[in-house]
Amino acid sequence: MIPVQKNDEHVVEIVDLTHEGSGVARIDGYTVFIPGALPTEQVKIKITKTTKSYGFGRIIRQKTKSVDRVEPPCPVYNQCGGCQLQHLSYDAELKFKHNRVRDAFARLAGLEIPVHETIGMEDPWGYRNKAQVPVAFQSNKLMAGFYQKRSHRIIDMDYCLIQNKENDEAVQAVRKVLADLKVPAYDEKKKAGVIRHIMARHGYHTNELMVVLVTKVKQLRGIDKIVEGILKALPNVTSIQHNINPDDTNVILGKKNVVLYGPSVIRDQIAGLTYEISPHSFFQVNPLQTEKLYAKALEYAQLTGDETVVDAYCGIGSISLSLAKQAKHVYGIEIVPQAIDDARRNAQANGIENVTFEYGAAEKVMPDLVKAGIQPDVIVVDPPRKGCDEEFLRAAADVAPKRIVYVSCNASTQARDAKLLTELGYTLVEVTPVDMFPHTTHVESVALFVRN
């Protein structure tokens, strides 16, 4: 029998933080997760849910406060689900992310290796270059904001502290234009209406701005007046586009874009290289930290100009092109055809010729490259959250590069893959976490493996 029941009240001491940023307490050995609580704090909680193994509680009174607790600057922090760590000081957040990466390697891979301090931001606010904001008609007005935690109800917001101000201003300007012209929001329950989302993308280095109207309908009535209104409100806008998403889905963008004003892409730069960004393009949302991430990957690759490099899971080629500046030749592999098209276009736009992009699954393409006489000295991987395919890791070890540089957005799958690589003849030398998404629980990390 579990020692607590729903609606029970207890005074507990917080002993840890979960990977999701919730406080951890124990009542007679029973684990309870408490959002918003921090280690060392004493809090009075009310049990909100129980299972056989663990429960959840909410704070009803704060009895003591951690020295790491700060007042969240966002007025809707407790309602919005976008950030999880605004109540934690930034120095403590960087330590939390360091510990999260270190613990993943110790727990899942059995590896006690050097994990460097997390590379953070000097100013950890206003870093996001892309906003995708849902629109709804609530409280007799058109709202554009973010979803309340665990719901599809929108919190009306004029700004988001982790968005750059250009995107915030663009979203609110477009919302006002749509409201003034009485363009109806799409209603998920009634399956009726027009506007689903407002997207804004901003080039940090170029100051170019893209606005995308995502609609349920194929024909947007009053389109000329809408464009006229946006141009008047945002005279510096570079591109205005209409994305059509007629499906009943949680996917934000549909497949078709219609250009209403300006070019079909905007541009931005990473590490001195220029990239074209369409509504659908994957592009890192924090360009300043991306440069630090890529710099660490290049440091680990130890290129002299004579190496052949394979960049698996290469996406639009942003790591590949950075590597190409210091390598003999880079082969990028990607399974998403649109990304390969973008990568080739980005290479051409930057005048980089010592890079080749191949479409296909990395575990299939790389052995074909070897059969064609291509022997990589270094392999760089930047897989999705699920990590690398085991078949690919075995193929990589068979190729026997001197170094493998592993960039990850999920320390758990990175640690799992590290265990396999060590069994396949590699030593994990060190890991560096990079804070790409301040005030959230997400952390990226770069690991260096060398062949035994």
Residue 30 burial class via C-beta count within 10 angstroms: exposed 0-12, middle 13-18, buried 19 and up: middle
Closest CA relative to residue 188, chosen from 216, 150, 221, 149: 216
Q: Treating both helix axes as pointing N-terminal to C-terminal, what angle do 411-423 and 90-109 enclose, rounded to 10 degrees?
A: 40
Q: How far apart are the first and last CA of the chain?
A: 51
Token pair of 112 as six digits: 């006690």
Q: Count of CB atoms within 10 A of residue 250's CB?
A: 7
Asked whether residue 132 is marked as a ligand-binding residue, the answer is no
Provide the edge-to-edge strand list for the sheet that holds 154-156. 154-156, 141-147, 130-138, 195-202, 209-215, 239-244, 256-261
Give residues with Cβ within 8 angstroms of 298, minimum separation 6.
322, 323, 326
Q: According to the annotation, is 313 in a ligand binding site? A: yes
- Reference 22, options 153, 149, 190; nearest CA is 149
Q: What CA–CA distance (Å, rounded) separates 207 from 266? A: 9
Active-site annotation, residues = 409
From CA 438, how far away is CA 452, in angstroms rounded?
36
92, 98 Cβ separation under 8 angstroms? no
Q: Residue 131: beta bridge partners?
A: 200
Other beta carbons within 10 Å of 205: 13
DSSP structure string for 135-169: EEEETTEEEEEEEBTTSSPEEE-S--TTB-HHHHH
Q: Could you give the C-alpha distances from 42 to 14, 15, 45, 321, in angstroms and in order?
A: 6, 10, 10, 51
299 is in an annotated binding site: no
> Rounded to whole angstroms, how far apart are CA atoms 110 and 422?
11
Q: Which residues are CB-neighbours of 4 under 8 A, at least 6 positions away? A: 10, 27, 30, 32, 47, 50, 55
SS3 384: coil
Known binding residue 306? Answer is no
Residues of each annotated binding site for S-adenosyl-L-methionine: 284, 313, 334, 382
